[in-house]
Amino acid sequence: MAVKDKLEAVLNVGLRVPSIMLLEVLYRWDVSSFFQKIQRSSLNNNPLFQYKYLALYLHYVGYILSLVLLTLPRQHLVKLYLYVLTALLLFAGHQVSRDYVHSQMVVCTLCSCVMQTKRIWLFSAHLLPLVARLCLVPLETIVFINRFAMIFTGLEVIYFLATNLLVPYNLAKTAYRELVQVVEVYGLLALGMSLWNQLVLPVLFMCFWLVLFALQIYSYFSSRDKPTSRERLLFLFLTSIAECCSTPYSLLGLVFTVSFVALGVLTLCKFYLQGYRAFMNDNTMHRGMTEGITILILAVQTGLIELQVIHRAFLLSIILFVVVASILQSMLEIADPIVLALGASRDKSLWKHFRAVSLCLFLLVFPAYMAYMICQFFHMDFWLLIIISSSILTSLQVLGTLLIYIIFMVEEVRKEPVENMDDVIYYVNGTYRLLEFLVALVVVAYGVSETVFGEWTVMGSTIIFIHSYYNVWLRAQLGWQSFLLRRDAVNKIKSLPTASDLQLEQYNDICAICYQDMKSAVITPCSHFFHAGCLKKWLYVQETCPLCHKPLKSQSQPANATAAPAQDILPANPNPAEAGQGEPVAGAAEGDKTVTHNGVPVEGSQASPSSSPANPDLELEGQAEERALGPQQTDTVDSACLEGQVAGLSQGSGESCLRHRQRQQSASSPAATASTVCAAELQSQLQQSASPCCL
């Protein structure tokens, strides 16, 4: 931003601050009580009392004028201030012309410069009485000349106002036309954002409130001669803030001031941790608006404006404690990922580690000290307990962050990874999460007891309900889901077989997750080797193999084709009892032997070498079908049969596919007389079940 733009921005804010000051004065000024004081003081003949209702109307005109000054464009605002300055100079000219001619000439020159004209005589009417006095004109004539000069100046002012009478109307008409166009094209939201950016309302109200606060401090110290003690300074600080938030406008100024203070503190926190790199990837979440909105909601809810100064200062001290607790929580949200990333990385910069650890120690000690001070100075109630619990939770979170940071640093010193590091971190996080949950339960229990046995309020009940839902119910639900997910992952890991030393030697590879050598590993159903800890971390995210992305199911669940080893064998039937129901397997040995399938005898499977087919036509039909399919299509049918069986089709379909595959294998052996039986059963089964995989 160039210097000219910066000056214009400062000028834009500075010229609008008087409008907020005028609103503040008009809000504090009670016209009715003012005229009642005049009436009680027996000053009914006072001109102000005679024009009482006119003054009342002017009171509301002042509000309109303030809003006009607030919303007027910068160029027209500068012109308006120049006109006001010209009027002030003319008034000064009337005063100065009584004594000095030279000063009158200076005033005329200044007026011509401000009005940007070379006709100085327009502003020289006050010189006439002085010139007449120098010319020894009689006194009566000088009085007449003075009145003429005043009338001439007044006529000039009236002429100027008459020529510019329609300027406000034209400005309002132009502004209305522009507003309608913007609303039609961009909408009301864009219009509001544009006005917000042009008027710079946050900075404007902040400057207004700082001026009020400075005037309040100045008026206090200017009226005292003795030095003030430290306790008195704290009381002065709180009472000055309370005096400067007695109107809605000053309250808005305090809200924006607190927002900017919070933004400055969070920016310093980022700069302390990361240096100038913090401004390169700035987070839009930590803008200080949370603290400003918090103080606005609490002030409106508690009726801060309507209280007396002492009560307002007491309530403001509690509200400021809430704001400080919110700022500390935001600082922790900034520091937590940076500290953990620094501990997990191999950055050996001592200065970075010192900054991170020192900030964590500050966030550990200061909230606890603040909770102690609240307990010392205030009587305990539900609202103060919420503030104390927030401070305690901040300290607990910082303690958990420091413990994890220390664990990371210990692992870095050991120079070798720890396979159960994830379990240790989980236990640390679980411990302080459990403590947070217990603190939230204590707050809810205290709030419920205070509501039941104490004074019941709608706001208190609402806060208890919101606190119970977000800080108790949701935390308990998330913790239980995390526990179930971890337990499921542990069960899956336990159900997987452990690789032996011989298998690891034959595998001779690294873990595909952590890229480290494997001294111990588990084998997935798809025959992939991983560290048990690495695979468990992976299962926290998704239940698939990291390499082939096949679903990983525990042994307690039904078997699936994706869980079978990647070998050229058929998967076992998950229900052995069903395998024996009319499922003969080809390939009977010589003599009378019982054919088994997966170790289960199959009825009616005995066959002799001299046995003949029951139906030769079916055998010929099956052989013709094989010749028609060909070798390539036969393989396709085999794969389709396998997929049909894996997908869990009907029992008849799976059995037909299995018999069809066995018939293909036994067709090349002339001594396999059982193939005819399989072909016959295949034909009958096809007619009954119409298996889509074999057709």
Which residue out of 207, 511, 526, 641 is catalytically annotated? 511
For residue 263, give Cα distances in angstroms to 173, 274, 635: 39, 16, 71
The tokens of 690 are what? 């119409």
Task: Identify the H or E element spanning 523.
Answer: strand 522-523
Cα torsion angle, 497, 501, 503, 508, sign: positive
Q: Are 107 and 85 in contact (CB under 8 A)?
A: no
Residues 6+ apart with CB under 8 A from 437: 472, 475, 476, 479
Q: Which two tokens stand for residue 622?
A: 């099956």
511 labelled catalytic: yes
Cα–Cα distance, 540 to 566 (Å, whole number): 25
**What are the Cα distances from residue 305, in Å, to 208, 290, 308, 316?**
17, 21, 8, 11
Judge contact between 620 and 654, C-beta under 8 A.
no
How many helices (DSSP H) and strands (DSSP E) are in the chain? 27, 4
Task: Give the up-direction half-sphere exposure of residue 236: CA atoms within 13 A in the CB hemisphere.
Answer: 16
How many angstroms separate the Cα of 469 from the Cα of each of 122, 379, 444, 450?
75, 27, 10, 18
Q: Which residues contact 688 (CB under 8 A, 6 or more apart)?
A: 652
- Residue 530 three-state SS: strand
Angle, CA 590 vertex, CA 589 and CA 595 arms, to 5°: 35
Q: How far apart are CA 658 and CA 682, in angstroms?
A: 9
Tokens representing residue 458 in the block: 């709608």
Inter-residue contact 321 to 374 (CB < 8 Å): yes
Tell me, what DSSP letter sits at residue 469? I
Q: How far apart are the first and last CA of the chain?
A: 77
Phi–psi pair at 508, nearest 5 degrees: 50, 55
Six-digit token string for 317 = 């001290």
Return the bridge partners of 597, or none. Answer: 600
45, 48, 54, 59 alpha-carbon torsion, rounded to 10°: -150
Q: Give DSSP secondary structure letters for 304-351.
A: TTTS-HHHHHHHHHHHHHHHHHHHHHHHHHHHHHHHHHHHHS----HH
Per DSSP bridges, beta strands 522-523 and 529-530 are: antiparallel
Q: List, by residue number, the catalytic residues.
A: 511
